[in-house]
């Protein structure tokens, strides 16, 4: 597993602490993993479409440049 570090505003960090203390999560790391996984699952299609459109735009620019 890859480790990353994240800086959070104090209020957000306090909210993470409260979620752990109340038993919703076992650690702050678990919260961050869960949040990122949810974000990716919800936005995967949009991200794929965005990357595909960027690739198409790049190819079209390259085609017009090489004429």
DSSP 32-49: HHHHHHHHHHHHHHHHHH
In a domain, 19, yes or no: yes
In a domain, 5, yes or no: no
Domain span at residue 40 reads 11-65
| Cα–Cα distance for residue pair 17/9, rounded to 1 Å | 13
In a domain, 22, yes or no: yes
42-64 per-position pLDDT tens digit: 988 888 898 899 999 999 888 78
In a domain, 40, yes or no: yes
| Phi, psi values for residue 4, rounded to 5° | -130, 160
In a domain, 4, yes or no: no
| Phi, psi values for residue 36, rounded to 5° | -70, -40
In a domain, 60, yes or no: yes
26-47 per-position pLDDT tens digit: 999 999 999 999 999 998 888 8
25 in Cβ contact with 19 (< 8 Å): yes
Tell me, what's the pLDDT at 26? 98
CA 14 distance to own-chain centroid:
21
């Amino acid at each position: 597993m890859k480790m990353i570090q994240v800086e959070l505003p104090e209020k957000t960090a306090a909210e993470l602490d409260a979620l752990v203390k109340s038993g919703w999560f076992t650690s702050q790391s678990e919260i961050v993993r869960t949040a990122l996984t949810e974000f990716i699952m919800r936005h995967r299609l949009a991200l794929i479409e965005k990357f595909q459109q960027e690739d198409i735009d790049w190819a079209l620019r390259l085609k017009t440049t090489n004429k």
